[in-house]
Structure 1
Amino acid sequence: MSSNTQDAGGRLPWRAVGLLACLGVIAGARPGHAVNVVRVEEHWELRIATPEPGSDAPQATCVMSPVGDIAGLHAVFEINQRTQPSFSPGGLQLQLWNGDAPRAHVEAGADAALGHADETVSWTQVMEISGGVLRFSVSGGQSTTWGSFGGSDLTIEVPTELANLNQYDPQVSVHHSAVGYAANRVKSLSLKRVRIVSATGEMAEDATVRVVHALP
């Protein structure tokens, strides 16, 4: 497997090169052209089958990291549960973790719990870096239970020494995300597409659907 760091020519690691070069959307890109990714958008979809409000079911967790693992700073978005600083059912919570240690959390949706059959919950998880600050946020959320959600109330910022998000890997998000409780009540949890933005404003989108969970 290739390294997660930039090579001597300033090229992106293999995962980001595939996202940029293979889609062919970075204008003027050429071999060896250095590209700094400063924003990543993950578009997620959770399709509910038959929820059970009385038992706080189901519950899902989605993870996002600026690098190829979750050993350092990363974000966790919880749906229909809030586990920090202690468990509370329902609602939405965005958490900042450093490895196994929780650092901060914000929440929205009060304690409303999933209770509508065949509901679809969609949202965008955003990670961006600017001026030595790493920002995680949830935006554009749509659901029957919580209505529109996301924005300033689901945003966490933290100082960082990272210069870019070139080590981002969508497979890390998929691998560490899950329907952790009552998966039989969820039709699917999927990362529908990923968009990245460079420091010069160029964009690329990967429309590969990455399935975290699906009923047979």
Structure 2
Amino acid sequence: MFYRNSASTGLWAVRWLAAAVVLAAMASTAWAEEPSITRIEEDWELVIGEPSPNSDAPQVTCAVSPLSDMNSYSATFVVNHHEAPAFAAGGLQLQAWNGETLLASRRAPNQAVLATPGETIRWTQVMKKTADGVEFEVLNGSSTTWGGFGGEGTLKLPIAAPIPNLNGYNPENSVEHSGVSYAGNRVQSLVLKRVRAYTDEGLLAEDANPRIVHSTSE
């Protein structure tokens, strides 16, 4: 896990609502009630500097939650290591949590260790509201070390959770609780590039404002 005990800011649903008004060309019309968000997509980009295969470095964790903090239901995507049921070097793992309790985890089939200097890794983290809870998934992954990853349910975790929708989601919460957990000097950048929110009717809002989580150039 990574930075799981910090508080984060709220009010992101208000920003989504404002963006949705613009996107729908309804600036002069107030919403009768807040739209119910049922899917969130986060596009991430990780650029490696000089990896160290012998020390399993670097290691990265990206977190997401349907709520405004990480004190309840959340997921973490760990890169170049996995932590459950025990620590092991290399690979990719998706974990679902309730506070400090691990609910489930799933590893990608390819468990290679990062070894390519300058490698760029991209993926999309998805949360989807289901009938009895939330489904976390990693999709559209691309890399040199692991090739394509995600899709076909290889990194998908459904959990039971009494959450009516994903309106509590806040991208700043994801940024605050994500980062390079080991050997930050070996990562050029980690960026949350883009966020999309959907209702059952389709795309509600898109935020293309890049959020820099880690950069060695700063």
TM-score (norm 1): 0.90
**Match of residue 5 from structure 2:** none
Contact 2:95 2:105 in 1 (8 A): yes
Give the drift of 1:20. Answer: 3.7
**Match of residue 18 from structure 2:** 21
Gaps of 5+ in 1: 5-13
Cα deviation digits, residues 18-75 of structure 1 (max 9, x gap) = 1342361146573133300000000000000111111101000000000001111100
Give the drift of 1:124. Answer: 0.2
Gaps of 5+ in 2: 1-8
Cα deviation digits, residues 150-192 of structure 1 (max 9, x gap) = 0201000011221110010001100000101111010000100
2: distance between equivalents of 1:203 and 1:73? 23
**Match of residue 189 from structure 2:** 188
Give the drift of 1:214. Answer: 0.2
Question: 1:104 aligns to what SS in structure 2?
Answer: strand
**Match of residue 53 from structure 1:** 53
Contact 1:135 1:156 in 2 (8 A): yes
2: distance between equivalents of 1:39 and 1:62? 18
Question: 2:18 aligns to what SS in structure 1?
Answer: helix
Residue 147 in structure 1 maps to residue 144 in structure 2: no
**Match of residue 173 from structure 1:** 174
**Match of residue 32 from structure 2:** 33
**Match of residue 216 from structure 2:** 215
Cα 1:28–1:22 shift into 2, 3 Å: closer
Contact 2:76 2:95 in 1 (8 A): yes
Q: Which amino acid aligns with 2:16?
A: L
**Match of residue 7 from structure 1:** none
**Match of residue 115 from structure 1:** 115
Give the CA RMSD over aligned residues: 1.6
**Match of residue 159 from structure 1:** 160
2: distance between equivalents of 1:41 and 1:202? 10
Question: 1:173 aligns to what SS in structure 2?
Answer: helix
Give the drift of 1:110. Answer: 3.0
Cα deviation digits, residues 92-114 of structure 1 (max 9, x gap) = 00001110111110001432011
Q: Which amino acid aligns with 1:187?
A: Q
Give the drift of 1:194. Answer: 0.2
1: distance between equivalents of 2:203 and 2:126? 16
Question: 2:181 aligns to what SS in structure 1?
Answer: strand
Q: Which amino acid aligns with 2:141?
A: G
1: distance between equivalents of 2:154 and 2:203? 28
Contact 2:19 2:205 in 1 (8 A): no
TM-score (norm 2): 0.89
1: distance between equivalents of 2:32 and 2:117? 49
Aligned residue-pair number: 205
2: distance between equivalents of 1:180 and 1:208? 24
Q: Percent identity between the aligned chains?
A: 45
**Match of residue 105 from structure 2:** 105
